Structure 1
Amino acid sequence: MTKCSGCGYVRQESDAGSLAVCPRCNVPYLWSAGEASQGDEAEAPPRSVRATRLRKNAAATGEPQGVRDVVISALVLAVGCFAPLMSVPLVGSITATQLRFSDGYVLLALAGLAVWFAYSDKVRLVRWPGWAALGIVTFDFVALFMRVQQAKTDMQANLEGNPFAGIAEAMAQSIQLQWGWVPLFAGAIGLVLVGHGRRLPVR
């Protein structure tokens, strides 16, 4: 007996139809299991037909299309809101919630809105909070990077000839961007992709 790894149905001897296709979800075992099953070879239908069958199978199992991907992207974005974006001497790490206008809380609200859209069966609308989040993250990254570079340049110019210039310059050079930007960009881009009908490369 052959078991479909897509819907979990175990094929019975009384089931009609091609031996290479699951009688319940109508998806070839070659697609769901990654290997050809014994029996007749199924000719792969057009890509649009396959996508339609997969959507019907997802609806039959009670899992809205793309909800998992939206939740993953929103969680990654939320993690980035509390991750260090920049390290400053004597101050420590700065997160998105500590930036001007508290952009981190805006990003959290956008992540929550995306999840709400997904569970309301409006996955296509996720693109809008995704684009908004990506715009905010990109603007903050560019603005913060330029501000740090300008501060370093001004400090070097103002302390020229000062006996403590070496110490100040060392402190200025220790101001660095941190890893928190990675989940912020990844989460926002993930929401955009899912909103435009793409699926994340996760299993």
Structure 2
Amino acid sequence: PDNKALSFCHSCGHFFCKDCLQEGIEFYYCKKESCQQQLQEEKLQKAENSIITNKKSITNQYKFMEKIFILGIIGSILLFIGVFTPIVSIPIMGNINYFNNGKGDGVIILAISILSFILVLFKKYKGLLYTGFGSLAVLIFTFVNFQIKMNEITSQMNSELADNPFKELANTAISSIQLQWGWALLVIGSILIITSSKLKNEKFI
């Protein structure tokens, strides 16, 4: 009775000193049997809530990892398919794909796509950052190289056919050379592979 009251019991509402109270997870409880029972119920409820929260966290993590896996798989497949789709159309010759019968840079992209697929299967997402940027680097190199060659051909044609009546016909043929939809698959595939790796790294840093 002489001790100063610390707080009140959350169950019965009476004030008690420090020695007569037991601290729960959120509230104080006195040492009466009924109040102690409520203390145990509070602890049990807290434990149940913690289990539910952990289950939700694990479920969300699993779903997130599943999305990363799917992104990596789709990216690898798109990159693989893109190698065999038309990237340039040339008059008379028709469409040319990136593989070009094993002579083009598409061979490198093909190898990268297979490697990326294997990395995803084994969940080695960090490696996808290298394969993704590697494939983009090869694509950029090919694109820039293509533009340089086109400019060289155009300049050469204008120089050699300056007074030739077939100059316009040659220019028309050159202007008919067009990039094709295969580029879209290749670029999207590379971006998805990079995204898969970045999401994994950012989520679990």
Common fold by TM > 0.5? yes
Q: Is 167-176 or 63-72 further displaced after alignment?
A: 63-72
1:103 partnered with 2:109: no
Distance, in Å, in 2 between the alignment partners of 1:74 and 1:25 is: 33
Assess if the C-alpha contact under 8 Å between 2:85 and 2:97 holds in 1. yes
Change (3 A) 1:131 1:149: same
> How do 1:167-178 and structure 2 match up within 5 A?
167-178=169-180
Alpha-carbon shift at residue 69 of structure 1 (Å): 0.9
Match in the other structure for 1:164: 166
- Secondary structure at the residue paired with 1:85? strand
Partner of 1:54: 60
User: For the residues of structure 2 that align with 1:116 and 1:98, how far apart are their CA atoms?
Assistant: 24
Q: Contact 2:125/2:200 (CA < 8 Å) preserved in 1? A: no
- Tell me the distance in 1 between the aligned counterparts of 2:54 and 2:142: 46
Q: Distance in 1 between matches of 2:161 and 2:168?
A: 9
Q: Structure 2 vs 1, CA of residues 154 and 167 (structure 1 numbering), >3 Å: closer, same or farther? A: same
Which one-letter code corresponds to 1:181 in the other structure?
W
What runs of 5+ residues in structure 2 fail to find an aligned partner? 1-46
Match of 2:77 in 1: 75
CA distance in 2, matches of 1:172, 1:190: 33
Give the helix-richer structure, 1 or 2.
2
Q: Which of 1 and 2 has greater Rg?
A: 2
One-letter identity of the residue aligned with 1:77:
L
Distance 1:100 1:135, change over 3 A: farther
Q: Which residue of 2 aligns with 1:119?
A: 121
Counterpart code for 1:68: I
Query: What is the TM-score when the length of structure 2 is the normalising length?
Result: 0.65
8 A contact 1:80–1:184 mirrored in 2: yes
TM-score (norm 1): 0.66
Q: Which has the higher strand share?
A: 2
Tell me if structure 1 keeps the 8 A contact 2:80–2:114: no
Q: CA RMSD in A?
A: 2.9
Distance 1:184 1:106 in 2: 12
Contact 2:75 2:193 in 1 (8 A): yes
Asked if structure 1 preserves the Cα contact closer than 8 Å seen for 2:79 and 2:113, the reply is yes
Matches of 1:116 and 1:131 in 2, distance apart?
17
Tell me the CA shift for residue 93 of structure 1.
1.1
Asked whether the 8 Å contact 1:77–1:187 carries over to 2, the reply is: yes
Decide which moves more: 95-104 or 165-174: 95-104
Note the C-alpha offset of 1:100.
Answer: 8.3
- Which residue does 2:145 correspond to in 1? 143
Shift of 1:105: 2.1
The SS at the match of 2:129 is helix
Conserved? CA contact 2:77–2:117, under 8 Å: no
Classify 1:122/1:160 alpha carbon distance in 2 versus 1 (closer, same or farther; 3 Å): same
Q: Residue 30 of structure 1 aligns with which residue?
A: none
- Write the deviation string for residues 24-52 of structure 1: whole angstroms up to 9, x where unpaired: 9733xxxxxxxxxxxxxxxxxxxxxx6x7
- Number of matched pairs: 155
The 1:130/1:183 distance shift into structure 2, 3 A limit, reads same
